[in-house]
């Protein structure tokens, strides 16, 4: 069985990272360019995700670029990588949309939402637009993180339930209010 048996293009997926999860959009098809030779090749199982200089996508400074996707393990912003660089050997799951209010409030934060999502082609188009334009902003764990990015791709609105840090609806309201008040 391959990854395509578990996820479909346009899926919002997340990988466990201990106390938090790292979110991305699985895009299904991509080409990458080798920076040293300029040659392009098809990338198997590509994902687009978002992080900053100190984010969850950063590897060790001594890490060599990935041989599959040429990811440098520390590039900030929206990046396209192979699934292996995204997953880092950790368990992964598919984020769920259109869940009931009860499910939302009884499930681990950052794994689902009551919001509806758009069709896969729209989701993938948004993810590529953020990648090409690098216009998702600066990374912030609370106000602009990888879950904000993935939900923005899926719904057109950036949301993050994970940053509420387990405080349920009240925590989500506090985070949303704080996001609007920051300058």
Domain ranges in the chain?
3-181
The DSSP line for 67-86 is TTT---S---EEEEEEHHHH
Structure token digits, residue 61: 């400074």
Is 3-181 CATH 3.90.1720.10? yes
Task: Per-residue pLDDT tens, the chain, 183 aa: give them.
Answer: 677 788 999 999 999 988 889 999 999 989 999 888 999 999 989 999 998 754 444 445 556 889 899 988 767 899 999 999 999 888 999 999 999 999 998 988 889 999 999 999 999 999 999 999 999 999 988 889 999 999 999 999 999 987 655 544 555 555 555 545 543
Model's pTM, two decimal places? 0.84
Structure token digits, residue 107: 């499930």
Distance (Å, rounded) from C-alpha 116 to C-alpha 126? 16
């Amino acid at each position: 069985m391959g990854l395509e048996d578990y996820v479909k293009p346009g899926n919002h997926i997340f990988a466990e990272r201990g106390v938090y999860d790292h979110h991305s959009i699985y895009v299904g098809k991509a080409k990458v360019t080798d920076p040293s030779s300029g040659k392009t090749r098809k990338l198997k199982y590509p994902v687009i995700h978002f992080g900053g200089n100190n984010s969850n996508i950063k590897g060790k400074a001594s890490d060599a670029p990935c041989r599959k996707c040429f990811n440098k393990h520390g590039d900030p912003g929206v990046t396209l990588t192979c699934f292996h660089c995204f997953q880092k050997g950790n368990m992964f799951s598919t984020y769920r949309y259109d869940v009931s209010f009860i499910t939302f409030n009884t499930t681990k934060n950052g794994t689902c939402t009551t919001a509806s999502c758009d069709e896969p082609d729209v989701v993938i188009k948004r993810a590529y637009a953020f990648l090409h334009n690098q216009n998702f902003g600066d990374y912030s764990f609370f106000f602009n993180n990888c879950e904000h990015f993935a939900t923005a791709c899926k719904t057109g609105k950036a949301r993050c339930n994970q940053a509420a840090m387990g405080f349920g609806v009240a925590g989500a309201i506090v985070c949303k209010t704080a996001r609007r008040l920051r300058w």
